[in-house]
Amino acid sequence: MFLYLPLVVVVAYSFNDSRLNAEWVGFTGRWYVTLLHDEAMLLAARNSLLVALTASVVSTVLGTLAGLALYRRPRQRVLPILVLTPIAIPEVLQGVSLLIFFVLMNVSLGLVSIVLSHVAFCIGFVAVVVRARLQGLDPSLIEAARDLGATPWQAFRRVTLPLIAPGIAAGALLAFTLSLDDFVITFFTAGPEASTLPLQIYSMIRIAVTPEVNAVSTLLMALTLALAALAGRIAPGALRGRA
């Protein structure tokens, strides 16, 4: 299908023994080898993983709280606006405003600023997934727990939490992937030195296109595929919760 053609091409060309993305010359894995020796790329990859890990943990915690709050008080207006707007607006605006903000607050631009920015927009996604999961819960289960002697906190810990755990996990995976992939916001808040994988890929594409890019892309795709499969295992249908 139309959707897959471009990706297949990239994968295919990553094995192409040629500098140009034109003809099929021969099958080789040497671009992957070059990749492994590319210092800048490795650093960027390490940064990306670090950032994604931190950002996903923080935004999962905050996002779960937000999802709970959205579920419990659906008529309130402040929280939904704060949480859901970052998902819908163009990333350019967020990136730019965060840039100004960090500079004014004298926060140096680097990995920290990247993490902080990522969390801001990941909270919304996690919250939506968690809220969808909560809405699928039978409310009489909580009542039954209370009726049988559980305090609200105990009911939450022993009944609600185990039952929404798949949703939380799906949200965490979603946040991780979004953070790993993010380009626009990172672009503005990274500053001159820090680099993440998407940024690295971007400069490679702009400046000097080598099939290394294809190789990186293939690897990244494989990683996201694996994550998606994992998410599918844990919480089928949670992906749809976003829309």
Partner 1 sequence: MTNLALRGVVKRFGDVLAVDDVSLDVGAGEFFTLLGPSGCGKTTLLRLIAGLEQPDAGAVLLDGVDLVGVPAEKRPVHTVFQSYALFPHLSVARNIAFPLEMARVPRAEIERRVAAVLDDVQLGGLARRMPDELSGGQRQRVAIARALVDRPRLLLLDEPLGALDAKLRVQMKFELVKLQREVGITFVYVTHDQGEALALSHRIAVMNRGRLEQVGDPRTIYERPASRFVADFIGQCNLLDATVRRIDGDTMELEASGIGVCAAAVVAGAAAGQRGTLALRPEAIEIGVPLVDATGARVQRRGRVRDALYEGDVTFYTVALDDGTCLRAMQPNADARRAGRFAAGAEVGLAWPSDAGRFLCS
Partner 2 sequence: MAERRRPLPVQLTRRPRWHLAARLRGWFVSAPPVAYLLVFFAAPSLIMVVAAFRVAGDYGGLLPLVDTDPATGAMRWQVRLDNWRTFFTLEGFARFFADPIYLEVFARSFGYAAITTLICLALGYPLAWMIARSARRHREALILLVVLPFWSNFLIRAYAWMILLGPQGVLSRAVNAALGWFGIGPVQLLFNTFAVVVVLVYVHLPFMVLPLYANLEKHDPALVDAARDLNANAWHCFWRVTWPLSLPGVWAGAALVFIPALGMFAVPDLVGGTSSLMIGNVIKQQFLDSRDWPFGSVLSLMLTLAVLAAAAAAAWVARRGARRA
HSE, side-chain direction, 13 A CA sphere, residue 45: 13
Which one of 55-63, 157-165, 193-201, 213-221 is the stretch in contact with partner 1 (CB under 8 A)?
157-165
Q: Which residues of 121-142 are buried (b: 16+ CB within 10 A; e: fewer)?
A: bbbbbbbbbbbbbbeeeeeeeb
Q: Does 22 bind partner 2 (CB under 8 A)?
A: yes
163 binds, among partner 2, partner 1, none (CB under 5 to 8 A by kind): partner 1
* Interaction of residue 145 with partner 1, rule CB under 8 A: yes
Contacts 24+ apart (CB under 8 A), 105-112: 108/191, 109/189, 109/190, 109/191, 109/192, 109/194, 110/190, 110/191, 110/193, 110/194, 111/47, 111/50, 111/51, 111/194
Site for partner 2 in 58-87 (CB under 8 A): 61-63, 65-66, 68-69, 72-73, 78-79, 82-83, 85-86
Segment lying near partner 1 (by CB under 8 A), choices 67-75, 150-158, 185-193, 198-206: 150-158
State which residue, 81 or 148, has the beta carbon closest to partner 1.
Answer: 148
Part in contact with partner 2 (CB under 8 A); list of ranges 38-46, 90-98, 135-143, 159-167: 90-98
Query: Contacts with partner 2: how many residues (CB under 8 A)?
Result: 78
Angle at 136 between CA 132 and CA 138, to 5 degrees: 145
Q: Does 225 bind partner 2 (CB under 8 A)?
A: yes
154 binds partner 1 (CB under 8 A): yes
Provide the minimum distance between the beta carbon of 159 and partner 2 in the complex, in angstroms, as a whole number: 16
Question: What does the angle CA 155 – CA 175 – CA 79 come to, to the nearest 5 degrees?
Answer: 60
